[in-house]
Copies of this chain bind each other. A is one copy, B any other.
Amino acid sequence: MTESTHLTHLDADGRARMIDVGHKAETSRVAVASGRFVTTRKVLTLVRADNLPKADVLATARIAGISAAKKTSELIPLCHQVPLSSVKIDFRLGEDTIEIEASAKTRGQTGVEMEALTAVTIAGLTLHDMVKAVDPGATLTDVRLDSKSGGKRGHWTRGD
């Protein structure tokens, strides 16, 4: 992937714009993003109850993340409206952390990095909301793109 040398969302005068993607090819595009919710062991014990029939914690965060991915262009001012063909969110529970991974897919003229990142962050903030009475100090950290494919610039993987 070749990177740009300027901020593409600004015109020559530095003014914000929604860049023109009308000339770009429609291709299948996938993006994967992740983040880590850092809290306490006590919270993890309570959340693990979600593997029992009882608790809705992870389901609530998952639905929030999926719904938010569909709202990305309302939240990020210069994002294009992208109809997603799929969104998926996974959680991996650690001792005092919850790893969040989201993937988004579309067939279109522009990528879905922001959709995957939005799914991760809103899922993470929803976890925060649900545990904040127990741990107000929880942190959402390392929210970032892991990989993307599709489009002129081709495949990109973190660390390559």
Pick the residue among B14, B46, B66, B128 that contacts A55 (CB under 8 A): B14
* Cβ–Cβ contact B86 & A66, under 8 A: no
> Who on chain B is nearest to A13 by CB?
B54
Q: Report the Cα distance A7→B29, complex, angstroms.
A: 26
Q: Report the Cα distance A114→B138, complex, angstroms.
A: 12
Q: Tell me the chain A residues, 1-40 only, with Cβ under 8 Å from chain B.
A: 1, 3-11, 13-22, 28, 35
Tell me the A residues contacting B by CB distance below 8 Å.
Answer: 1, 3-11, 13-22, 28, 35, 46-47, 49-57, 59-60, 62-64, 66-68, 70-71, 73-90, 105-107, 109, 113-114, 117-118, 121-122, 124-126, 128-145, 148, 156, 158
* Cβ–Cβ contact A79 & B20, under 8 A: no
Most buried by B among A15, A51, A64, A105: A15
Quote the shortest CB–CB distance from A135 to chain B (angstroms).
Answer: 7
By a CB distance below 8 angstroms, the chain B residues around A10 are 54-57, 130
By a CB distance below 8 angstroms, the chain B residues around A139 are 142-144
Q: Report the Cα distance A87→B158, complex, angstroms.
A: 31
By a CB distance below 8 angstroms, the chain B residues around A35 are 140
Quote the shortest CB–CB distance from A7 to chain B (angstroms).
Answer: 5
* Cβ–Cβ contact A56 & B62, under 8 A: yes
Q: Report the Cα distance A19→B130, complex, angstroms.
A: 11
* Cβ–Cβ contact B75 & A80, under 8 A: no
Q: Report the Cα distance A128→B54, complex, angstroms.
A: 23
